[in-house]
Structure 1
Amino acid sequence: MTEADLDAVLAIEQACFPRAWTRQHFLSELASPHATTVVAEQDGRLAGYLCMNVLLDEAEILDVAVDPSLQRSGIGAALVGWACDEAGRRGAAVVRLEVRATSQPAIALYERFGFVRSGLRKAYYENGIDAVLMDLNLAEEEFDAV
């Protein structure tokens, strides 16, 4: 992901999330030495993106989204698979994330990669939606970008 991608990234972010990240938030991620960002393209256009931090032996997927018109086409799986591979290459032993409890397709995707539910943050998101905390122990799992 580069600054030139941000208009397309922000359009997807706003289409996917009620409380979307701002341009400044993405700029901060791009400037962070711990951040890893990536975009996926399909037919010459930005189709999705992922932001992750890796610090010492832990990685955290902070934001991942796919253009709503392209969801369920394998782009999200490719992004998550890439993130898990990249976290391992950068020395992480675990990958963590949080997801809206109401986002069953996302939870199912993460579980396909071996993520397990590790906690719950009550009323974390807008409208009182809980956040499901999920972890993937990289030493115990093998995964493929499906």
Structure 2
Amino acid sequence: MTGLGDITICPMTEADLDQVLAIEEVSYPKPWAREHFLDELQSPYAFPLVALDNEGRVAGYICPTLLFDEGEIRNVAVRSDMRNYGVGRALVESVLSECRSRNAAYVGLEVRVSNDAARALYKKLGFVESGQRPKYYENGEDAVLMECPLTEAERSDAV
């Protein structure tokens, strides 16, 4: 577990799913269903995490995978009243740290071209834009592909 002030990052459990789904529903036009999250919890390649507030409520979540040396962030969202408090940053940093410790070469993700706040955060954390997927989202919006290279030097520093 990683502490961030009143926030604790820990593995997601099935008991968290009602709160995760409530955040998902208000965060995305086409939210994941419970089955998507159950698949993440059961996958040997996924390690979904939640950020818990000081009352033990889910403040945010992230669904990363790691297959061979390739990490991917598949889904991330923060409860609306907890945005702009570093919850998303802490979740992404936890994923980067875990991927470094498992010798990943990089972590990739897709983000809406219009999501300037998320793109700026990812850039601050070392992600670079590596391409686009035209008309990727349900409304026809493009996705920006971003990758955070995890260098050999970074991996040895993490050990």
Give the TM interval when normalised to the shorter protein: over 0.9
The one of 103, 117, 122 equivalent to 2:115 is 103
1:127 alignment partner, SS class = coil
**How much has 1:140 moved relative to structure 2?**
7.2
SS in 2 for 1:49: strand
Q: Which residue of 2 aligns with 1:35?
A: 46
**Counterpart secondary structure, 1:19:** coil
Aligned mate of 1:10, from 17, 21, 25: 21
User: Partners in 1 of 2:51 and 2:153 — Cα distance?
Assistant: 24
User: 1:58: Cα distance to partner?
Assistant: 0.6
Percent identical across equivalent pairs? 53
Which AA in structure 2 matches 1:40? A
Q: Name stretches of at least 5 consecutive residues in structure 2 with no aligned partner.
A: 1-11, 155-159
Query: Structure 1 length as normaliser, TM-score?
Result: 0.94
> 4+ residue stretches of structure 1 with deviation over 3 A?
none
SS at match of 1:126: coil
Deviations 1:22-49 (A, max 9, x none): 0000000100000011100112211000
Report the 3-state secondary structure (helix = DSSP H, G, I; strand = E; otherwise coil) of the residue aligned with 1:43.
Answer: coil
Query: In the alignment, residue 47 of structure 1 is paired with which amino acid?
Result: A
Could you say what the CA RMSD is over the residues aligned between the two structures, in angstroms?
A: 1.2
User: With structure 2 as the length reference, what TM-score do the two structures score?
Assistant: 0.86
Residue 136 of structure 2 aligns with which residue?
124
Q: Which has the larger radius of gyration?
A: 2
Q: What is residue 34 of structure 2 aligned with on the other side?
A: 23
Distance 1:140 1:105 in 2: 29
Structure 2 counterparts to residues 134-145 of structure 1, below 5 A:
134-139=146-151
Give 1:107's aligned amino acid: R
Give, in whole Å, the separation in 1 of the partners of 2:61 and 2:15.
Answer: 13
1:89 & 1:37 partners in 2: Cα distance? 16
Equivalent residue pairs, number: 142
SS in 2 for 1:18: coil
CA distance in 1, matches of 2:44, 2:126: 27
| Per-residue CA distance 1:120-139 (angstroms, 9 max, x = gap) | 00110021111000001111
Provide the rounded CA distance (Å) in 2 between the counterparts of 1:70 and 1:93: 31
